[in-house]
Protein backbone atom coordinates (compact mmCIF):
# COMPACT_ATOMS: atom_id res chain seq x y z
CA UNK A 1 0.00 0.00 0.00
CA UNK A 2 1.34 3.41 -1.00
CA UNK A 3 1.93 5.29 2.25
CA UNK A 4 1.25 8.77 0.83
CA UNK A 5 -2.00 7.61 -0.80
CA UNK A 6 -3.14 6.05 2.44
CA UNK A 7 -2.34 9.20 4.42
CA UNK A 8 -4.24 11.38 1.92
CA UNK A 9 -7.28 9.11 1.98
CA UNK A 10 -7.30 8.92 5.79
CA UNK A 11 -7.03 12.68 6.28
CA UNK A 12 -9.05 14.07 3.34
CA UNK A 13 -11.47 11.40 2.07
CA UNK A 14 -12.58 9.15 4.91
CA UNK A 15 -13.65 12.08 7.16
CA UNK A 16 -16.43 12.74 4.61
CA UNK A 17 -18.24 9.70 5.98
CA UNK A 18 -18.68 11.36 9.37
CA UNK A 19 -21.47 13.46 7.87
CA UNK A 20 -23.44 10.61 6.28
CA UNK A 21 -26.38 8.66 7.70
CA UNK A 22 -25.67 6.00 10.32
CA UNK A 23 -25.65 3.21 7.74
CA UNK A 24 -22.86 4.90 5.74
CA UNK A 25 -20.48 6.21 8.37
CA UNK A 26 -16.75 5.58 8.71
CA UNK A 27 -17.26 2.05 10.01
CA UNK A 28 -18.99 1.14 6.75
CA UNK A 29 -16.21 2.66 4.64
CA UNK A 30 -13.56 0.82 6.65
CA UNK A 31 -15.46 -2.45 6.30
CA UNK A 32 -15.67 -2.03 2.51
CA UNK A 33 -11.94 -1.24 2.35
CA UNK A 34 -11.04 -4.30 4.45
CA UNK A 35 -13.31 -6.65 2.51
CA UNK A 36 -12.19 -5.24 -0.84
CA UNK A 37 -8.55 -5.90 -0.05
CA UNK A 38 -9.39 -9.45 1.05
CA UNK A 39 -11.30 -10.09 -2.17
CA UNK A 40 -8.44 -8.58 -4.20
CA UNK A 41 -6.10 -11.13 -2.63
CA UNK A 42 -8.54 -13.91 -3.56
CA UNK A 43 -8.68 -12.72 -7.17
CA UNK A 44 -4.89 -12.46 -7.38
CA UNK A 45 -4.44 -15.99 -6.05
CA UNK A 46 -7.26 -17.74 -7.88
CA UNK A 47 -6.68 -19.22 -11.35
CA UNK A 48 -10.33 -18.58 -12.19
CA UNK A 49 -9.81 -14.90 -13.03
CA UNK A 50 -8.17 -14.24 -16.39
CA UNK A 51 -7.91 -11.47 -18.95
CA UNK A 52 -9.47 -11.76 -22.44
CA UNK A 53 -6.07 -12.86 -23.77
CA UNK A 54 -5.95 -15.70 -21.23
CA UNK A 55 -3.33 -14.21 -18.93
CA UNK A 56 -3.86 -14.30 -15.18
CA UNK A 57 -5.75 -11.30 -13.78
CA UNK A 58 -3.70 -9.24 -11.35
CA UNK A 59 -5.45 -6.39 -9.57
CA UNK A 60 -3.64 -3.36 -8.16
CA UNK A 61 -4.28 -3.15 -4.40
CA UNK A 62 -3.75 0.63 -4.33
CA UNK A 63 -6.53 1.00 -6.90
CA UNK A 64 -8.80 -1.32 -4.90
CA UNK A 65 -8.09 0.65 -1.73
CA UNK A 66 -8.88 3.98 -3.37
CA UNK A 67 -12.09 2.78 -5.03
CA UNK A 68 -13.34 1.36 -1.74
CA UNK A 69 -12.50 4.59 0.10
CA UNK A 70 -14.29 6.77 -2.47
CA UNK A 71 -17.22 4.49 -3.26
CA UNK A 72 -19.84 6.39 -1.21
CA UNK A 73 -18.34 9.89 -1.27
CA UNK A 74 -21.06 10.90 -3.72
CA UNK A 75 -23.43 11.01 -0.75
CA UNK A 76 -22.05 14.50 -0.20
CA UNK A 77 -24.11 15.50 -3.25
CA UNK A 78 -27.06 13.18 -3.68
CA UNK A 79 -28.15 9.78 -2.37
CA UNK A 80 -30.13 8.62 -5.39
CA UNK A 81 -27.19 9.14 -7.75
CA UNK A 82 -24.39 8.83 -5.22
CA UNK A 83 -22.65 6.11 -7.23
CA UNK A 84 -22.26 8.35 -10.28
CA UNK A 85 -21.32 11.30 -8.07
CA UNK A 86 -18.61 9.14 -6.46
CA UNK A 87 -17.27 8.41 -9.95
CA UNK A 88 -17.24 12.13 -10.71
CA UNK A 89 -15.35 12.87 -7.49
CA UNK A 90 -12.68 10.31 -8.42
CA UNK A 91 -12.27 11.79 -11.89
CA UNK A 92 -12.07 15.34 -10.55
CA UNK A 93 -9.64 14.71 -7.67
CA UNK A 94 -6.34 15.94 -9.09
CA UNK A 95 -4.39 14.48 -6.15
CA UNK A 96 -5.09 10.98 -7.43
CA UNK A 97 -2.95 11.73 -10.48
CA UNK A 98 0.09 11.51 -8.23
CA UNK A 99 -0.45 7.78 -7.85
CA UNK A 100 -2.53 6.63 -10.83
CA UNK A 101 -2.53 7.00 -14.60
CA UNK A 102 -5.49 8.49 -16.47
CA UNK A 103 -6.49 4.99 -17.56
CA UNK A 104 -6.41 3.69 -13.98
CA UNK A 105 -8.48 6.63 -12.75
CA UNK A 106 -11.10 5.90 -15.39
CA UNK A 107 -11.26 2.25 -14.30
CA UNK A 108 -11.59 3.37 -10.69
CA UNK A 109 -14.37 5.82 -11.52
CA UNK A 110 -16.29 3.17 -13.46
CA UNK A 111 -15.90 0.74 -10.56
CA UNK A 112 -17.34 3.27 -8.10
CA UNK A 113 -20.23 3.95 -10.47
CA UNK A 114 -20.90 0.21 -10.78
CA UNK A 115 -20.93 -0.66 -7.07
CA UNK A 116 -24.60 -0.02 -6.38
CA UNK A 117 -26.60 -3.16 -5.53
CA UNK A 118 -29.59 -2.05 -7.61
CA UNK A 119 -27.50 -1.70 -10.78
CA UNK A 120 -29.17 -3.40 -13.74
CA UNK A 121 -25.95 -4.61 -15.34
CA UNK A 122 -22.75 -6.30 -14.17
CA UNK A 123 -19.73 -4.19 -13.16
CA UNK A 124 -17.52 -3.30 -16.10
CA UNK A 125 -14.29 -4.61 -14.57
CA UNK A 126 -13.01 -6.93 -11.89
CA UNK A 127 -12.40 -3.80 -9.76
CA UNK A 128 -16.10 -3.02 -9.89
CA UNK A 129 -16.91 -6.62 -8.98
CA UNK A 130 -14.58 -6.52 -5.98
CA UNK A 131 -15.92 -3.29 -4.48
CA UNK A 132 -19.54 -4.16 -5.29
CA UNK A 133 -19.09 -7.51 -3.55
CA UNK A 134 -17.38 -5.88 -0.56
CA UNK A 135 -20.18 -3.32 -0.27
CA UNK A 136 -22.62 -6.22 -0.10
CA UNK A 137 -20.81 -7.75 2.91
CA UNK A 138 -23.60 -9.79 4.36
CA UNK A 139 -23.74 -10.10 8.11
CA UNK A 140 -27.47 -10.63 8.79
CA UNK A 141 -27.75 -8.53 11.95
CA UNK A 142 -25.61 -5.75 10.46
CA UNK A 143 -27.80 -5.67 7.35
CA UNK A 144 -30.96 -5.39 9.45
CA UNK A 145 -29.36 -2.77 11.70
CA UNK A 146 -28.34 -0.62 8.72
CA UNK A 147 -31.84 -0.94 7.29
CA UNK A 148 -33.34 0.29 10.55
CA UNK A 149 -30.82 3.14 10.73
CA UNK A 150 -31.57 4.20 7.17
CA UNK A 151 -35.30 4.16 7.88
CA UNK A 152 -34.90 6.29 10.99
CA UNK A 153 -32.80 8.82 9.09
CA UNK A 154 -35.00 9.05 6.01
CA UNK A 155 -38.56 8.24 7.12
CA UNK A 156 -39.05 10.13 10.41
CA UNK A 157 -42.82 10.18 9.88
CA UNK A 158 -43.09 6.40 10.38
CA UNK A 159 -43.93 4.86 13.74
CA UNK A 160 -42.19 1.72 14.98
CA UNK A 161 -44.55 -0.65 13.18
CA UNK A 162 -44.15 1.38 10.00
CA UNK A 163 -40.37 1.03 10.23
CA UNK A 164 -40.77 -2.71 10.79
CA UNK A 165 -42.93 -3.16 7.70
CA UNK A 166 -40.58 -0.99 5.62
CA UNK A 167 -37.55 -2.99 6.78
CA UNK A 168 -39.20 -6.34 6.03
CA UNK A 169 -40.34 -5.14 2.60
CA UNK A 170 -36.80 -3.97 1.82
CA UNK A 171 -35.37 -7.33 2.90
CA UNK A 172 -37.70 -9.18 0.54
CA UNK A 173 -37.06 -6.78 -2.33
CA UNK A 174 -33.27 -6.93 -2.05
CA UNK A 175 -32.11 -10.08 -0.25
CA UNK A 176 -34.82 -12.76 -0.51
CA UNK A 177 -34.92 -15.37 -3.27
CA UNK A 178 -35.68 -13.43 -6.44
CA UNK A 179 -34.41 -10.16 -4.92
CA UNK A 180 -32.26 -7.81 -6.93
CA UNK A 181 -28.98 -8.39 -5.03
CA UNK A 182 -26.28 -10.08 -7.11
CA UNK A 183 -22.96 -11.51 -5.92
CA UNK A 184 -19.86 -11.30 -8.13
CA UNK A 185 -16.93 -13.08 -6.44
CA UNK A 186 -17.67 -16.79 -6.14
CA UNK A 187 -15.11 -17.35 -3.37
CA UNK A 188 -16.62 -14.62 -1.20
CA UNK A 189 -18.22 -15.74 2.10
CA UNK A 190 -21.29 -13.73 1.13
CA UNK A 191 -23.02 -16.73 -0.43
CA UNK A 192 -23.26 -18.64 2.85
CA UNK A 193 -24.19 -15.50 4.77
CA UNK A 194 -26.90 -14.63 2.26
CA UNK A 195 -28.42 -18.07 2.83
CA UNK A 196 -28.50 -17.33 6.59
CA UNK A 197 -30.15 -13.95 6.02
CA UNK A 198 -32.75 -15.52 3.75
CA UNK A 199 -33.58 -18.01 6.48
CA UNK A 200 -34.23 -15.10 8.88
CA UNK A 201 -36.38 -13.31 6.29
CA UNK A 202 -38.51 -16.42 5.76
CA UNK A 203 -39.05 -16.78 9.53
CA UNK A 204 -40.90 -13.59 10.40
CA UNK A 205 -40.72 -14.28 14.15
CA UNK A 206 -36.93 -14.48 13.89
CA UNK A 207 -36.86 -11.34 11.78
CA UNK A 208 -39.02 -9.54 14.34
CA UNK A 209 -36.55 -10.49 17.10
CA UNK A 210 -33.64 -9.09 15.07
CA UNK A 211 -35.59 -5.94 14.26
CA UNK A 212 -36.44 -5.39 17.93
CA UNK A 213 -32.78 -5.74 18.91
CA UNK A 214 -31.67 -3.22 16.28
CA UNK A 215 -34.54 -0.87 17.09
CA UNK A 216 -33.67 -0.85 20.79
CA UNK A 217 -29.98 -0.25 20.01
CA UNK A 218 -30.89 2.89 18.06
CA UNK A 219 -33.77 4.15 20.20
CA UNK A 220 -32.51 3.20 23.67
Q: Are 144 and 81 part of one and the same domain? A: no
Chain mean pLDDT for the chain: 93
Question: Lowest mean pLDDT: which of 26-40, 93-107, 110-124, 171-185?
Answer: 110-124
Q: Are 36 and 125 part of one and the same domain? A: yes
At residue 141, what are phi and psi to the nearest 5 degrees? -70, -35
50 and 57 Cβ atoms separated by less than 8 Å: yes
- Give CA–CA dist 144/210, Å, rounded: 7
Question: Residue 196: enclosing H or E segment and its boundaries?
Answer: helix 190-202
Which structural domain, as residue segments, surrounds residue 42? 3-135
Decide which of 135, 159, 179 is a domain's last residue.
Answer: 135
Q: Are 147 and 196 part of one and the same domain? A: yes
Closest C-alpha among 71, 55, 56 to residue 108: 71
Residue-level pLDDT at 219: 86
Which is higher by pLDDT, 166 or 47?
166
Which is higher by pLDDT, 201 or 119?
201
pLDDT range class, residue 187, cuts 50, 70, 90: confident
Decide which of 135, 157, 188 is a domain's last residue.
Answer: 135
pLDDT range class, residue 83, cuts 50, 70, 90: very high
Q: Summarize pLDDT for 12-67 with one digit per residue, the tens.
A: 999 999 998 877 899 999 999 999 999 999 999 999 898 888 899 999 999 999 99
Helix axes 160-174, 140-154, angle to 10 degrees: 130
Q: Are 18 and 36 part of one and the same domain? A: yes
Q: Are 38 and 127 part of one and the same domain? A: yes
Which is higher by pLDDT, 130 or 187?
130
Residue-level pLDDT at 78: 85
pTM, two decimal places:
0.80
Q: Are 98 and 186 part of one and the same domain? A: no
Q: Are 29 and 106 part of one and the same domain? A: yes
Q: Is the pLDDT of residue 80 over 90?
A: no
- Give CA–CA dist 189/112, Å, rounded: 22
For the chain, how many structural domains are there in total?
2
Q: Are 33 and 120 part of one and the same domain? A: yes
- Alpha-helical (H) ranges within 71-124 are 82-92, 102-113
Decide which of 117, 135, 153 is a domain's last residue.
Answer: 135
Q: Are 116 and 55 part of one and the same domain? A: yes
Question: Residue 210: enclosing H or E segment and its boundaries?
Answer: helix 204-219
**What DSSP string describes 8-33?**
HIIIIIGGGGGGS-GGGSHHHHHHHH
CATH of the domain at 77: 1.10.3210.10
Mean pLDDT, residues 140-165 taken together: 94
- Give CA–CA dist 209/220, Å, rounded: 16
Q: Are 97 and 146 part of one and the same domain? A: no
pLDDT range class, residue 100, cuts 50, 70, 90: very high
- Give CA–CA dist 47/96, Å, rounded: 30
- Give CA–CA dist 92/101, Å, rounded: 13
Q: Are 108 and 167 part of one and the same domain? A: no
Residues 6+ apart with CB under 8 A from 62: 1, 2, 5, 99, 100
Dihedral of alpha carbons 44, 45, 50, 56, sign = positive
Mean pLDDT, residues 178-188 taken together: 89
Mean pLDDT, residues 155-179 taken together: 96
Q: Is the pLDDT of residue 75 over 90?
A: yes
Q: Are 51 and 129 part of one and the same domain? A: yes
Residues 6+ apart with CB under 8 A from 205: none
Amino acid sequence: MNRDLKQYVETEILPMYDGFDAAHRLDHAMMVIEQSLRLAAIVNLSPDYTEPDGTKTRVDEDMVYAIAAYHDTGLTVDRKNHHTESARIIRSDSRLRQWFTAEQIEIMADAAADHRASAKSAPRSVYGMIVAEADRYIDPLTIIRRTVQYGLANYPELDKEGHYRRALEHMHEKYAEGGYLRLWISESPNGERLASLRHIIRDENHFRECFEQCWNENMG
